[in-house]
Structure 1
């Protein structure tokens, strides 16, 4: 390979990665504002400050953009729940475990509101549906493991049901959290923690009493 190409190749690749990041950031803004179905490649290009032709150099359509964006977010989300749903110390109070999990997930979704817009919308594009289902199943398994820690001896079916209820409550609360800002958002986060703790605390108390 000529020396000039050796020097410009990595730079060209770096510029391409920056352009892709720029387009994905613009797409995230458009998807959050108008929704996936109503968005268009023209709107994404306009938000990114580039021509549609430049966008098409990297993505053939908006579905490809959404899939790339979703892939990256799913990967980051897996890292997030791996941290916030890690096995807890035996001395960790229920309130602390719930608070840590909620704070971790809320922080991720507030940083990436497009994750909720894409993954919880009625029109998840392409293979993101499969990735979302796999992420949901893995997340439920981690929640079940956390609940089982506080409810030793509880039937597997009860643990699964409780985990699904917790997950449903969280998703409902998340929508309220994301629709508010500032101190009102903080208040909704605290309300979500309170709901989960008050739901789980009687079970934990009963489990400790019969242990």
Structure 2
């Protein structure tokens, strides 16, 4: 190629491809390390996990791990950030406006099923977000996620109980989430048919708690109390 009499060498396609291949290999290695970290955090918890254990789980040397992450905290922040993003997307799918027109049992199914599925498919989320000693950055983002969930639940309750005081809505939402968290702990600790049984039990508990409050109003948001 020539420009104003100066010859500019053409780019070598092979040389251009090398950085891209190196970048792709690096991305695969990062994904491999994060997957290994998820397994270690699930088994040992964040506080007891170590970079050596993560490296062993990934089948690489500690030196290789340190090429990508300086310490365990950096791994947890990267993994936690990815999981928190997925959780936010999932909450948007669970709390769809059209779900408010469903009868209470179907409403619970529509909201709970995506949340339960996400946690079962990503057990590291529970281990990392509820473990001891997690980095402050993750803790702050998880607290924001939880507060957003609290607000969503309060919004559902307010739709069916428009005249209820805010303090009552907040208290009911807190209790609903506390029951859900306790039930999810049992669900994640079990597998197969036992897990399905706990899912059914959790929905039964929440149905019996919420039905006296909003059961006769679901399917018609905003219906005045009888």
Task: Work out whether residues 67 and 126 of structure 1, in 8 Å CA contact, stay in contact via their aligned partners in 2.
Answer: no
Comparing 116-125 and 35-44, the one that deviates more = 116-125
TM-score, normalised relative to structure 2: 0.88
Q: 1:142 aligns with which of 140, 145, 152?
A: 152
Task: Work out whether residues 150 and 173 of structure 2, in 8 Å CA contact, stay in contact via their aligned partners in 1.
Answer: yes
Aligned equivalents of 2:127 and 2:101: distance in 1? 37
Deviations 1:42-78 (A, max 9, x none): 0000000001111000000011000100000000000
For structure 1, the residue ranges without an aligned partner over 5 or more in a row are none
2:200 paired residue number = 190
Task: Work out whether residues 63 and 126 of structure 1, in 8 Å CA contact, stay in contact via their aligned partners in 2.
Answer: no
TM-score, normalised relative to structure 1: 0.94
Structure ID, larger Rg:
2
Task: Work out whether residues 47 and 132 of structure 2, in 8 Å CA contact, stay in contact via their aligned partners in 1.
Answer: no
Shift of 1:147: 1.9
Bigger helix fraction: 1
**Matched residue count:** 211
CA RMSD in angstroms, aligned pairs only: 1.6
1:204 paired residue number = 214
Q: 2:181 aligns with which of 171, 192, 201?
A: 171
2:24 paired residue number = 14
Aligned equivalents of 1:31 and 1:101: distance in 2? 27
Q: Highest relative contact order (Cα 8 Å, sep 6+), 1 or 2?
A: 2
For structure 2, the residue ranges without an aligned partner over 5 or more in a row are 1-10, 218-222
Aligned equivalents of 2:139 and 2:200: distance in 1? 31
